[in-house]
Structure formats: C-alpha cells, structure tokens
Amino acid sequence: MNFKKILPQLLTLVVVILVFGFFSYNAQVNMENRGITFGYGFLSQESSFDVQFSLIKYDGSHSYFRAYLVGLLNTILVSVIGILFATIIGVVVGIARLSSNYLIERTAAIYVEFFRNIPLLLQIFFWYFAALRALPLPEKAEPIFGVFFLTIKGFFVPAFVWNNLDIFIYSVISAIIAIVFVRLYAKKKQENQGIQTPVLSISIGLLIILPLLSFFLGGVDASVEIPVIEQLSKTSFTFKGGLKLPPELISLALALSLYTATFIAECVRAGVQGVSKGQKEAAASIGLTPNQVLKLVVMPQALRIIIPPTTNQYLNLTKNSSLAAAIAYPDLVLVFAGTALMQTGRAIEIVSITMLTYLTLSITISIFMNWYNKKIAIKEK
Amino acid sequence: MNKLNILSPNKNNLYAYLYSGISLFFISILIVFLNSFFSLDLTSFLPGTISYFLPLIIGFIGLHLIRIEYSRIKFLDIINKNINTNKFNALLSLLIIFAFIKSLPPLLSWFIIDANFAGDSKDACSGSGACWAYIKTWFNRFMYGMYPNAEQWRINLSFIALAFLGGVGFFATEKFKKYLTLYYVVVYPVIAFLFIFFFISGGPIFFDFSYGIIAAVISIIIGFFIPSKFKMYYFLIIPITFYILLKYVFFYEELIELGKIQAFEWVETGAWGGLSLTFIVSFFCLIFCFPVGLFLSLGRRSDLPIIKYISIGFIEFWRGVPLITVLFMSSVMFPMFLPEDMFIDKLVRVIIAISLFEAAYVAEVIRGGLQALPRGQYDAAKSLGMGYWKMHIFVILPQALKLVIPGIANTFLALVKDTPLIFVVGLLEIVGMLNLAKTNPEWLGFAMEGYVFASIVFFIICYAMSKYSYNLEQKYKTER
C-alpha cells in the first residue's frame, strides 16, 4: 500500500473521531451535571400540551409520540398542498415564459424575478401578518358562491360527511392499481404490435367509474355540510360546521407555492428549451401530427430534463415548510422541536429525531431519483 | 374599392381595417382607463354584465381587425408579431393590459398619492395610503438593530472601508493581478474580521487572534528564506509553534492586562441587528462556505475511500435537513456538546452553522462542474507530470469553477435569502426587526409598510447579485 494514500485518510479519520469523541464526552458530562439520562423513553409519556390544528385526534392526554405524529402529518399536509399548487403555477408560468406574446412573457418574467428574489420567510410574514389580516371578520364576511367564507379567522369551506369512507378509499386505490396495469399492458401492446391504446381516457374512466360503483354497491354515502355563522359572545363570531383552514396554513401554503413555483417555472422553461428544434422538425417530417409531436417526441425528452430539478424543488419545499415555526403553524419543528423540547428539555433526543425525520425523507427521495435518472437516461453506445 | 370582409381582414383595404381596428382598440382602453382612474362608467346605460365585458369585446374586435400579416407598416407588424398572433393571444394581451390599468390607481394611491411621508408619530398617518413615516422613524433600527445610536458611525465606517478594500481588484495593475486571489481569499477576510471585531464589536486590542496574526506575519517573512523543498512542512509547523510560544511563553502574563485595553465601547452581538447584520452574516458565510464546499467536492471525488465516504456523509447530512433545524441545533443542542466553561458567541455559532449548511450545497454545485470536464483534461495534466494539487489548482479548478458560476451564484443568493432565519437564535436582522417594530404599541398596524420596504431592499440586493453573476458568467465564457 502507498504511504501517501494512507496518511491523509488516517489523519482525517483521527480528526473526525476526535471531534465526535470530544462532543460526546462533553455531552455526557453536561447531562450528568444536569441530572438527565439519555433515552427515548419520554416519547410514551403524557404530553399535556394542546395543538391548534391537527389531522388526527389529539389532546394533552396523548403521548409525545402522538404529538410527533401530529406535527409530521401537518408538515406533510402543507407540503402536499404546496407541491400541488406550486406545480400548477410553475407549469403555467414556465409555459408563459416561452410564449411568443411579449406581454405574457414579460408578465411571467416579472413574476419569477420578483418572487424568487425575496426571502421566503419575508413572504410568509407578508401573507400572514399583512395580507390575511386585511380580511373581514367572520360576521362581515361575504360568502363566495354562497358556501365559502374567507375571514380573518381562516377559510371556511363545506365539508363532506362520509359513511363508509374506507370503502371509498379502497375503490380509489384499486382504480389506481388498475390504471398501472392498463398502462403496462398498453406499453407492451405498443412494443409488440405497434398499436396505441387510449390510456388517458381509460384511466380517467376508471378513476370515475370505480369510486362511483362504490357509491351504488358499497354503501358509501356522502353529504355536504355547509359552515354556518355562530355567535360565541356579544362581539365574537365564528363558523360552525364545515372545514376550517387556519390562516397559518393558508399563508404558509400560499407563500411556499408562490415561491417554489418560480423555480419550477424555470425548470419547465429550461426543459422545453432543451429539446432541440431538429427533434421537432424530424418528428414533423415523418408525418406526426403536432399533438403527436408534443406527446411522443417533445414531452418525453423535456420531462427527462424537467423532472430531476423539479423533484429537488419539491424536496426544498418540504424542507422550507419548517419555516412554519415562525408563524406558529403546528408543524414538526414547532410542535416537536419547539413545544415538546421546551417541556422535556431533551435537546439532543428531540433535535436528532427531527433531523432524522427530514433526513430520511430527503434521502429516500434522492435514492428514488437516482434510480429514476438511471432508468430514463439515454442509453448511448 | 373592394368589399370589406370583417371576418377576415386582408391587405386590400388595409387602411380601413387599420383605422377602425385601432380606434376600437383605443376606445376599449379609454373605457377601462376612465373607469379605473376617474371611476367614470361610460357604459353604465348597458346591463351590468355586458357593460363589464364591453371593453374586452370591443378591444378583441379591434385587435382582430388589425391582425393583417405582412402589412409592411412597421409598427403594425411589430404589434401583430408580439401581442396579436392569434385570437387566444389577443385575448390574453387585452386581459393583461386591462389588469395593469386597473391595478395602477390603487397601487399609486397606496404608495404615493395617499401616503404619508412626514411626521414622526402614528398620528401623522391618517390617510388610507402607506405610512412611510413609520419607515422613516424606524429606519435606524431597521439598518442597525439595537446598536447604540451614538456608535453607529462605526458600522458605517467599517462598511465603507470594507467596500473600498473589496473594490481593490478593479484598480489593480497587471503587476499585482496575480496576488489578487491570495488577497481575496486570505487577506481580505482577515481584514474584514479585524474591522468587525475591533470596530463594530469593540473587542480588546490584544486577544488570541492578534498573536495569530503576529505569528503568521513573522513566519511568512521568514518563509521567504526557506528553500521551496521544505516550504510545505515549514508552513505546517512553524506558525502554530510561533503562536503557542507567543501566547503561552512570551506574553502569557501580559495577555490578561493587555486584554482589557479597548479602543471602543463594547457592543455585544445581541444588540447587533438590522440590515447591517444581514450583511455581516452573509459576508462571513459566503467567505467560509466556499473553501469548505470546495474541499468537500474534491473529497467526494477522491480515490481515497475514507475521505470519500466522510465527504458524502457530511454533504448528504446537511443537504437533507432544513436550515431551521440546523439553527435549532446550534442554539439548543450545540451548547451541550461543549465543556461547561467554554462559551461560543451565538453570532459565531450561527455563522458556522449557516456556512456548513451552504458549503454542502456549494460542494454539490462544484462537483457538477468537475464532472462536466472531459477526462482528457485530467489525463493531459497528469501526462505533464503534475501532482494532485498542482493539477487541480492550475488545470481542473479554473475550468470547473468557470462552468459553475451560475450555480454558485444561486447558492449565494439562497444564503442571503436564508439569513432572516437567524431569528431562531434570537438575532434580529431586518425581517426580525420588522416583527419587533410591528408589536410596538405606539406603532401598531403598519405591518404592510414594513414588509413592502424589506421586500424592496431584498429584491434590490438579490437582483443586483443575480445580474452581477450573469455578467461574470458572460465575462469568463470561453468557447469549448
């Protein structure tokens, strides 16, 4: 073995071990001094704090682990909403950036330049403390389409009241599985016989028919509950019934999606511009219709460029959702690394769990992306 | 005269179409303009819905009439090519023009016409517009945080001096150009640190770091007389020896006495804030994250397995967690990892945390540049007999870094935009100061003005940075 190769490695290893050793020794000493023992047993203790907004049933009598789950679900909720809207806005703006219409292109460019050059935290504050505070009080709110109420206390929307919700969910899942099989079948058929199957219309049909069947045969039943104004005291009003989206959630989702959309728009633009003109002309010259050119030639190649950076943006959005702590939206960081940490004082355990959660999330996605990139990479000879 | 076919305008009756189309188009704009600026409704005699959509319909017909290809009238061709290619585009163009006209009056009235500029209390702001007096009154706080008013000249002076020293590169003559890298990477950061430590913070004149500088200067001077063969070992050993000698042998007793001498009043970092803190944090993070990221990227591509996997683990760890948890870690978890008598200032902790976090992103960007270089470059450098460091310093990195200028600029921009997050540890830069000012009982209800002000400030900074990076990219672009 080469001495020149071993020495630097050994040195690095020693330094890393020394640093870790130093830290863990101090941690041990410090914890002994404060009389804390390291361990994750506290997770099953009663949490005795309340959370403003929760997707699952939760109150102070539940455990810290349950609080962790509440935070995690809230993080996932706001990320999913943000990703959905960011994608829609991003794709529209990205295509608008490619428009031949000068006004549209400029408007989209101004939007992108403006929203991505302002810190996300500032945008969240802007929506939460300035823009949404200008909304009316519940008693003065004008209904939108008669059923939606946008007030300073949140956005009140009609809620569905379900009977046998689980059967409905199963039907949707089975529809999705069926669609996957139809796609596989269609691909095989095209490879073997060169016949195209209308996958899209079949998929949409499946997605509508199977859940519909569950209504008629599975005993699923849904009714709509409309929010109604209710007087709490002389001056305080609120809405009863329906679903309440708290202003924290709205402003966070709004800021996240408007901010991330600018980056997605740039990805989309780069992707479509990345497909060379020759490809389109070649496709047109072998007689494909413009629709087919878009579907079979341009989109597959553009998506190959678009998807990796866009997934990165989704990941960024999920991580950025931790800024929720600044406006008291009860996400993972606020509930767990904030309130639970203050109560238990277990800094090392709680911060490590929080970090590990985010780390697992992003490493899973990046492993999946590496696999996907390898799969779609152009195989060159 | 040919027959006019309204459905398909053509060149035969060019002027008839042109005049009627343009007049219709301008009528539609006039209606919207009068409506939004003077709230005059010209079409009020019509039923509500029709009156609402009338400008759109008129404008649409007008644009339809002037949609004539190759009219040979220059401005008409430009309009048709840019905003009026087909029906859909025409409709969108009209909508954008109308939305612009509609949104102008409320914006103008909020920003300027109804806004209050004078005054120094809440009572001065009575209009419906913005209260710029609020910004004016709090301006000092937004710029300098809780830094004492009488001492603020220290911040100004330091920033002006540092900006001047930073601009040295533009005036350097050919002779000194080759030292510029050394200047910017080593000398300038040290000068900046000294300015901030002595001037802004008001630290003691003699402290550990002073010995470090003395040791470095002495060893560099002696270093000129050392044969180049031993230079590397010399610089690895001697400066540290000097430092230890100076601190523990020669000046050990004096340190305590000298450490009390201060040129300026001490201002603790908790009082720093506002935009100046944004600058300080971003500046030092920029300086630290770049070299760390550079070494990480080299480490990740190294052949040595231990270094490679440590680098990968380090990079993926920082990239996988949100910055806010890193700051949480630095504020609540990190003190647990230190000996009880050891205390690191929270500003320093924050700067280290953000630097390490952004270094991981810089590393990935630089790795992209390293991967983009053709193998031939490595082979050619090796065949000239260059070692690892020589090859990277003179052949690989200059090319790779040039390629990744946009990526690095984006990371730096992200860094500047991340600085407001330091509110987690209780440091209040401009956004944090805004939130503090917002809760002042004498100034309730001016959140909007504050956030608009900060948005404009950040927009100017970030936009200037991105334009500068674009220029840099163009300047160093070479044909490949």
With an 8 Å Cβ cutoff, is B321 touching chain A? Answer: yes
Task: Indicate yes or no: CB of B458 within 8 angstroms of CB of A114.
Answer: no
Q: What pLDDT is attached to residue B253?
A: 62
Angle between helices B87-108 and B14-38 (to 10 degrees): 30
Check whether residue B20 and residue B62 sit in a common domain: yes
DSSP H/E element including B273:
strand B273-273
Task: Indicate yes or no: CB of A319 within 8 angstroms of CB of B321.
Answer: yes
Most distant CA pair in chain A, distance:
85
Q: What is each CA distance from B14 to B11, B42, B62, B99, in whole angstroms?
A: 5, 30, 13, 30
Task: Indicate yes or no: CB of B337 within 8 angstroms of CB of A133.
Answer: no
Alpha carbon distance B443, B133 (integer Å) = 11
Q: Which residues of B touch A333 (CB under 8 A)?
A: 322, 324-325, 328
Alpha carbon distance B84, B63 (integer Å) = 7
Q: What is each CA distance from A97 to A92, B78, B409, in whole angstroms?
A: 9, 19, 22
Amino acid (1-letter code) at residue A354: T
Task: Indicate yes or no: CB of A322 within 8 angstroms of CB of B322.
Answer: yes
The encoded tokens of residue A187 equal 């691909």
Task: Indicate yes or no: CB of B458 within 8 angstroms of CB of A118.
Answer: yes
Residues whose CB falls within 8 Å of the CB of residue A4, separated by 6 or more in sequence, listed in order: none
Q: What is each CA distance from A117 to A286, B217, B256, B461, in whole angstroms?
A: 44, 42, 48, 8
From A108, which residue of chain B is nearest by alpha-carbon distance? B96
Task: Indicate yes or no: CB of B89 within 8 angstroms of CB of A5.
Answer: no
With an 8 Å Cβ cutoff, is A117 touching chain B? Answer: yes
Please give the average per-residue pLDDT across B101-113, as a whole number.
87
Considering only residues 62 to 81 of chain B, which have any Cβ-Cβ distance to chain A shorter than 8 Å? Answer: 81
With an 8 Å Cβ cutoff, is B332 touching chain A? Answer: yes
Cβ neighbours, 10 Å, residue A210: 19
For B274: left if phi > 0, alpha if psi spans -120 to 50, otherwise beta; the answer is left
Alpha carbon distance B41, A342 (integer Å) = 60
With an 8 Å Cβ cutoff, is B434 touching chain A? Answer: yes
pLDDT tens-digit series, residues A77-97: 999 999 999 999 999 999 899
pLDDT tens-digit series, residues B174-217: 777 777 777 887 788 888 888 888 778 777 766 666 677 777 77
With an 8 Å Cβ cutoff, is A23 touching chain B? Answer: yes
Alpha carbon distance B135, A157 (integer Å) = 38
Task: Indicate yes or no: CB of A351 within 8 angstroms of CB of B332.
Answer: yes
Whether pLDDT at B459 is above 90? yes
Q: What is each CA distance from B108 to A52, B9, B36, B100, in whole angstroms?
A: 39, 39, 12, 12
Residue that is written with structure tokens 């690989």 in the block: B396
Of B96, B420, B466, the CB nearest to A119: B420
Check whether residue B77 and residue B226 sit in a common domain: no
Q: What pLDDT is attached to residue A358?
A: 92
With an 8 Å Cβ cutoff, is B87 touching chain A? Answer: no
Cβ neighbours, 10 Å, residue B430: 26
Task: Indicate yes or no: CB of A121 within 8 angstroms of CB of B85.
Answer: no
Of A22, A104, A120, the CB nearest to B417: A120
pLDDT tens-digit series, residues A203-220: 888 888 887 887 777 777
Of B89, B303, B455, the CB nearest to A101: B89
The encoded tokens of residue B186 equal 């080593």
Among the residue ranges A307-321, B78-92, B307-321, B444-458, the one predicted with the least confidence is B78-92
Check whether residue B324 and residue B428 sit in a common domain: yes
Would you give the DSSP letter of residue A117? T
Among the residue ranges A154-158, B58-62, B390-394, the one predicted with the least confidence is A154-158
Start-end of H helices in B245-383: 252-258, 274-300, 305-320, 323-328, 346-372, 375-383
Q: What pLDDT is attached to residue B480?
A: 52
| Residue B221 binned pLDDT confidence (cut-offs 50, 70, 90) | confident
Alpha carbon distance B71, B349 (integer Å) = 67
State which residues form the domain around B328.
137-147+267-475
Optimal mutation site among A114, A126, A339, interface B, most CBs of chain B within 10 A: A126
From A100, which residue of chain B is nearest by alpha-carbon distance? B82
The percent of residues in chain B predicted with pLDDT above 90, rounded, is 19
Alpha carbon distance B332, B351 (integer Å) = 15
Alpha carbon distance B119, B442 (integer Å) = 14
Whether pLDDT at B113 is above 70? yes
Q: Provide the shortest C-alpha distance from residue B63 to chain A (in Å).
A: 14
Of B93, B324, B438, the CB nearest to A323: B324
Q: Which residues of B touch A369 (CB under 8 A)?
A: none
Question: Across chain B, what does the average pLDDT equal?
Answer: 83
Check whether residue B390 and residue B317 sit in a common domain: yes
Check whether residue B239 and residue B352 sit in a common domain: no
With an 8 Å Cβ cutoff, is A323 touching chain B? Answer: yes
Task: Indicate yes or no: CB of B435 within 8 angstroms of CB of A347.
Answer: no
With an 8 Å Cβ cutoff, is A291 touching chain B? Answer: no
Q: Provide the shortest C-alpha distance from residue B408 to chain A (in Å).
A: 15
E strands in B393-448: 428-429
State which residues form the domain around A331.
44-158+226-376
Task: Indicate yes or no: CB of A117 within 8 angstroms of CB of B466.
Answer: yes
Alpha carbon distance B154, B144 (integer Å) = 11
Residues whose CB falls within 8 Å of the CB of residue A266, separated by 6 or more in sequence, listed in order: A94, A97, A112
Q: What pLDDT is attached to residue A372?
A: 82
From A126, which residue of chain B is nearest by alpha-carbon distance? B451
Q: What pLDDT is attached to residue A208?
A: 85
Count of alpha carbons within 13 Å of A190, Cβ hemisphere only? 10
Q: What pLDDT is attached to residue B255?
A: 59
Residue B398: alpha-carbon gap to chain centroid: 24
Instruction: Identify whether A39 is part of a domain.
Output: no
Q: What is each CA distance from B16 to A33, A215, A370, B10, B12, in whole angstroms?
A: 93, 62, 62, 10, 9
Question: Across chain A, what does the average pLDDT equal?
Answer: 85
With an 8 Å Cβ cutoff, is A367 touching chain B? Answer: no
Check whether residue B92 and residue B37 sit in a common domain: yes
Give the number of domains in chain B.
3
The C-alpha angle A340, A345, A347, rounded to 5 degrees, equals 90
Q: Provide the shortest C-alpha distance from residue B438 to chain A (in Å).
A: 9
Q: What pLDDT is attached to residue B2?
A: 59
pLDDT tens-digit series, residues A93-143: 998 998 888 899 999 999 999 999 999 999 999 999 888 888 878 777 777
Check whether residue B414 and residue B453 sit in a common domain: yes
Instruction: Identify whether A239 is part of a domain.
Output: yes
Q: What pLDDT is attached to residue B125?
A: 76
Alpha carbon distance A167, A340 (integer Å) = 36
Question: Are the C-beta atoms of residues B437 and B450 closer than 8 Å to each other?
Answer: yes
Among the residue ranges A62-71, A274-283, B61-70, the one predicted with the least confidence is B61-70
Q: What pLDDT is attached to residue B252?
A: 61
Among residues B313, B308, B389, B317, which one has the least CA distance to residue B353? B317
Instruction: Identify whether B89 is part of a domain.
Output: yes
The C-alpha angle A264, A269, A272, rounded to 5 degrees, equals 125
E strands in chain A: 143-144, 148-151, 154-157, 159-163, 221-225, 228-231, 237-240, 243-245
Check whether residue B252 and residue B307 sit in a common domain: no
Domain's final residue, options B241, B261, B281:
B261
Among the residue ranges A294-298, A363-367, B123-127, B446-450, the one predicted with the least confidence is B123-127
Whether pLDDT at A380 is above 60? no
Alpha carbon distance A267, A260 (integer Å) = 11
Whether pLDDT at B1 is above 70? no
Check whether residue B396 and residue B453 sit in a common domain: yes
Q: What pLDDT is attached to residue B3?
A: 65
Q: Which residues of A touch B311 (CB under 8 A)?
A: none
Would you give the DSSP letter of residue B406? H
The percent of residues in chain A predicted with pLDDT above 90, rounded, is 27
Whether pLDDT at B10 is above 80? no
| Residue B260 binned pLDDT confidence (cut-offs 50, 70, 90) | low
Please give the average per-residue pLDDT across B329-353, as a whole number.
85
Would you give the DSSP letter of residue A150? E
The encoded tokens of residue B169 equal 């590169």
With an 8 Å Cβ cutoff, is A319 touching chain B? Answer: yes
Q: Which residues of B touch A24 (CB under 8 A)?
A: 337
Q: Which residues of B touch A101 (CB under 8 A)?
A: 82-83, 85, 89, 92-93
Q: What pLDDT is attached to residue B297?
A: 93
Alpha carbon distance B204, B211 (integer Å) = 13
pTM: predicted TM-score of the whole model, two decimal places: 0.86
Instruction: Identify whether B155 is part of a domain.
Output: no
Q: Which residues of B touch A26 (CB under 8 A)?
A: 336-339
Q: What pLDDT is attached to residue A127?
A: 92
Instruction: Identify whether B124 is part of a domain.
Output: no
The more confidently predicted of residues A198 and B419 is B419
Optimal mutation site among B336, B421, B468, interface A, most CBs of chain A within 10 A: B336
pLDDT tens-digit series, residues A164-182: 777 888 888 888 999 899 8
pLDDT tens-digit series, residues B144-161: 888 888 888 888 888 998
Phi (first) and psi of residue A53, to 5 degrees: -140, 120
Question: Are the C-beta atoms of residues B45 and B11 closer than 8 Å to each other?
Answer: no
Whether pLDDT at B117 is above 70? yes
Instruction: Identify whether B180 is part of a domain.
Output: no
Task: Indicate yes or no: CB of B93 within 8 angstroms of CB of A323.
Answer: no
Q: Which residues of B touch A366 (CB under 8 A)?
A: 316
Q: Which residues of A touch B325 (CB under 8 A)?
A: 322, 333, 337, 351, 354-355, 358
Q: Determine how β-strand A221-225 pairs with β-strand A237-240.
A: unpaired
| End-to-end Cα spacing for chain B | 60
Instruction: Identify whether B302 is part of a domain.
Output: yes
Domain of residue A284, CATH code? 1.10.3720.10
Instruction: Identify whether B27 is part of a domain.
Output: yes
With an 8 Å Cβ cutoff, is A304 touching chain B? Answer: no
Residues whose CB falls within 8 Å of the CB of residue A23, separated by 6 or more in sequence, listed in order: B337
Question: Are the C-beta atoms of residues B243 and B215 closer than 8 Å to each other?
Answer: yes
The more confidently predicted of residues B286 and B168 is B286
Alpha carbon distance B471, B232 (integer Å) = 37
Q: What pLDDT is attached to residue A115?
A: 93
Check whether residue B360 and residue B254 sit in a common domain: no
Q: What pLDDT is attached to residue B353?
A: 93
Q: What pLDDT is attached to residue B202?
A: 75
Whether pLDDT at B469 is above 70? yes
Among the residue ranges A22-31, A131-140, B402-411, the one predicted with the least confidence is A131-140
Q: Which residues of A touch B338 (CB under 8 A)?
A: 26
Alpha carbon distance A324, A125 (integer Å) = 10
pLDDT tens-digit series, residues A302-335: 888 888 889 889 999 999 999 988 888 888 998 8
Q: What is the DSSP string of B364-402?
A: HHHHHHHHHS-HHHHHHHHHTT--HHHHIIIIIHHHHHH
With an 8 Å Cβ cutoff, is B378 touching chain A? Answer: no
Whether pLDDT at B433 is above 80? yes
Check whether residue B362 and residue B380 sit in a common domain: yes
Burial (Cβ within 10 Å: 0-12, 13-18, ≥19) of residue B310: buried
Whether pLDDT at B319 is above 60? yes
Instruction: Identify whether A142 is part of a domain.
Output: yes
With an 8 Å Cβ cutoff, is A299 touching chain B? Answer: no
The encoded tokens of residue A126 equal 């802007």
Bridge partners, residue B273, by sequence = B428
The C-alpha angle B441, B447, B449, rounded to 5 degrees, equals 120
Task: Indicate yes or no: CB of A100 within 8 angstroms of CB of B89.
Answer: yes
With an 8 Å Cβ cutoff, is A325 touching chain B? Answer: yes
| Residue B412 binned pLDDT confidence (cut-offs 50, 70, 90) | very high
Residue that is written with structure tokens 């496709």 in the block: A283
> Burial code of B367-404, b = ≥16 C-beta within 10 A, e = fewer?
bebbeeeeeeebeebeeeebeeeebbeebbbebbbebb
Question: Are the C-beta atoms of residues B259 and B206 closer than 8 Å to each other?
Answer: yes
CA dihedral sign, ordered A264, A270, A272, A274: negative
Instruction: Identify whether A126 is part of a domain.
Output: yes
The percent of residues in chain B predicted with pLDDT above 70, rounded, is 92
Q: What pLDDT is attached to residue A34?
A: 80
Among residues A86, A35, A69, which one has the least CA distance to residue A264? A86
Check whether residue B245 and residue B359 sit in a common domain: no
Give the number of domains in chain A.
1
Please give the average per-residue pLDDT across B22-29, as a whole number.
89
With an 8 Å Cβ cutoff, is A36 touching chain B? Answer: no
Q: Provide the shortest C-alpha distance from residue A379 to chain B (in Å).
A: 18
From A113, which residue of chain B is nearest by alpha-carbon distance? B463
Instruction: Identify whether A246 is part of a domain.
Output: yes
Question: Are the C-beta atoms of residues B454 and B434 closer than 8 Å to each other?
Answer: yes
Domain's final residue, options B246, B261, B276:
B261
Alpha carbon distance A117, B469 (integer Å) = 14
Instruction: Identify whether A244 is part of a domain.
Output: yes
Q: What is each CA distance from B128 to B110, B124, B233, in whole angstroms?
A: 7, 12, 71
Question: Are the C-beta atoms of residues B264 and B199 closer than 8 Å to each other?
Answer: yes
Which ipTM score applies to this complex?
Answer: 0.85
Task: Indicate yes or no: CB of B339 within 8 angstroms of CB of A26.
Answer: yes
